[in-house]
């Protein structure tokens, strides 16, 4: 009798472990599918961005991305060429989107992209000059990068590139 009890107990344990394993695999597959779906939604949301023209008391009107994050230019850049790389890019990440809409009243022809040789991504330009974010701008409306080291400035309708 003890022998049969042991066999039944062992068989039941194996069945339970198998059932648990199937549940774990299904849960893992469900989680993976959910992550992939979320990742695809994020990618789709980033396919087309809309630039905005926001206003700040300190700097006036300025360009921002679709989330309201300010866009800057670097006075050491040249038309169609970025001179910000390496450590510079850690503080001034490039504004990289494939497709974007421009604010009403602006000429889409003034905007373009360059392909960065260092990271291989397309960076958006305004009148040929690359656009960047500032790492210390954390929320919509911040313009903490304005005038940093006398070479970083917000971009707006009055921006002239020399």
Cβ atoms 126, 159 nearer than 8 A:
yes
Residue 24 CA: distances (Å) to CA of 16, 18, 27, 86, 99 = 12, 10, 5, 43, 40
What's residue 67's pLDDT?
95
pLDDT by residue, tens only, the chain of 162 residues: 566 565 655 555 565 445 555 444 444 454 444 444 443 443 334 445 789 999 999 899 999 999 999 999 999 999 999 999 999 999 999 999 888 899 888 889 999 999 999 999 999 999 999 999 999 999 999 999 999 999 999 998 788 886
What global pTM score does this model have? 0.69
Residue 71 CA: distances (Å) to CA of 95, 105, 144 = 8, 18, 11
């Amino acid at each position: 009798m003890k022998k049969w009890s042991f066999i039944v107990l062992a068989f039941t344990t194996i069945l339970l472990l198998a059932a648990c394993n199937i549940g774990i695999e299904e849960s893992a597959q469900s989680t993976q599918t959910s992550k992939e779906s979320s990742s695809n939604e994020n990618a789709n949301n980033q396919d087309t961005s809309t630039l905005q023209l926001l206003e700040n008391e300190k700097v006036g009107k300025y360009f921002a991305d679709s989330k309201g994050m300010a866009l800057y230019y670097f006075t050491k850049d040249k038309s169609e060429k970025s001179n910000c790389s390496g450590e510079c890019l850690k503080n001034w990440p490039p504004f990289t989107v494939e497709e974007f809409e421009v604010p009403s009243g602006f000429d889409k022809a003034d905007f373009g992209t360059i392909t960065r040789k260092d990271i291989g991504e397309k960076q958006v330009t305004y009148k040929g000059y690359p656009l960047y974010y500032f790492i210390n701008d954390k929320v919509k409306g911040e313009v903490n990068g304005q005038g940093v080291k006398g070479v970083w400035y917000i971009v707006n309708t009055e921006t002239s590139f020399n």
